[in-house]
Amino acid sequence: MFENLKVWMNGKLVPWSNANVHLLSHGFSRASSIFDVFGIHPTPQGPCAFRMDKHLDRFYRSAELLGMEIAYERESLKKAIAESIEANNIKRGLIKILGYYSEEAIISLVLDSKLDVAIFAMPESDELGLDKTEPISICFSDWRKIHPATVPVEAKACSNYLNGMLARKSAKQRGYDVGIFLTTDGYVAEGSIESLFMVKNGILKTPKLGNVLRSITRMSILELAPKLGIEVEETNIMPQELLAADEIFLSHTGIKVGPVDRIEERVLSPVPGKITKKLQQALNDIVTLKDERFKDWIQYVGK
């Protein structure tokens, strides 16, 4: 259903089918690409983005962590996002910003050029799976999370997601939805694209930064929870602790709070649990502009 969409590429809107680069481009053949993704929500004022400012911060931070420079300033990208949303008539959907080297590179590993940028504005669809409510089953992955001494795990680098693909593939083969990485030290990390939270004795816990992506949704939940009277801890979590959790949920841009109903052979009940359900409702109130305390999290993206 995306073939009729237009893509913003380096200052121009082009047909979806023309949004491409050469097979030997550095971004493709050397996997030197970065990206970021955020949600678009319908409001009476028009389409609005969930914490677009923070996502753009992370996009530029990813480039910085990898020693790259983006060819466009922040304000130019904000205008391009608005142009893309209008061109594709997006009410509810996703924005994906891709930074990449289009320059062909047969031998070169290091380029002096700046990153090209493409912006994809995509409407909600079954393929995107936005706001799914079905419980999620998880298992521990056979693969370990990339060590932060090898590549910066906090950068949203396309190459890092080969690690995530392997974990998702092995989980599916075992009959689970999501595989949860452990770090090389044996602590719980995250899923392929999901941050992980657990509840034990009323305390909301999540793995601390360092080995996991600096997720905007994760950050939002950690900022929101204390406002709801929920105690939070960013801490190292051992696999046996996760197995004994009272509640577990995953979070990412498309599904801000996704309740888990099974971890390995253990079935959790009820699902969603009390705290999971409370956070689900609170985040829904925020994106539908029902909670004035967080109105700055929702940014109008009209031209």
Do 73 and 97 belong together in one domain?
Answer: yes
Domain boundary among 123, 153, 176: 123
Note whether residue 240 is domain-resident. Answer: yes
CB 93 within 8 A of CB 123: yes
Sign of CA dihedral 55, 60, 66, 69: positive
> Based on the number of CB atoms within 10 Å of its own CB, is 168 exposed (0-12), middle (13-18) or buried (19 or more)?
buried
Note whether 142 and 276 are same-domain residues: yes
Is 303 a residue whose pLDDT tops 80?
Answer: no
- Where in the sequence is the domain holding 20, given as residue range(s)? 6-123
| Among the listed residues 83, 86, 3, 78, the one whose alpha carbon sits nearest the alpha carbon of residue 38 | 78
Structural contact between residues 190 and 220, judged by C-beta atoms closer than 8 angstroms? no
Percentage with pLDDT > 70 across the chain? 100
State the average pLDDT over residues 251-255.
94
User: pTM of the entire structure?
Assistant: 0.95
For residues 16 and 59, membership in a common domain is answered with: yes
Last residue within a domain, chosen from 101, 123, 145: 123
Residue 215: inside a domain, yes or no? Answer: yes
Mean pLDDT of 41-46: 90
Under a CB-based contact definition with an 8 Å cutoff, are residues 50 and 289 in contact?
no
Q: What is the pLDDT of residues 188-204, one digit of tens each?
A: 999 999 999 999 999 99
Averaged confidence pLDDT in the chain: 96
* Percent of the chain whose predicted confidence (pLDDT) is above 90: 92
Is position 230 within any domain? yes
* Polymer length in residues for the chain: 303
The predicted-structure confidence for 119-161, as pLDDT tens digits, reads as follows: 999 999 988 888 888 999 999 999 999 999 999 999 999 999 9
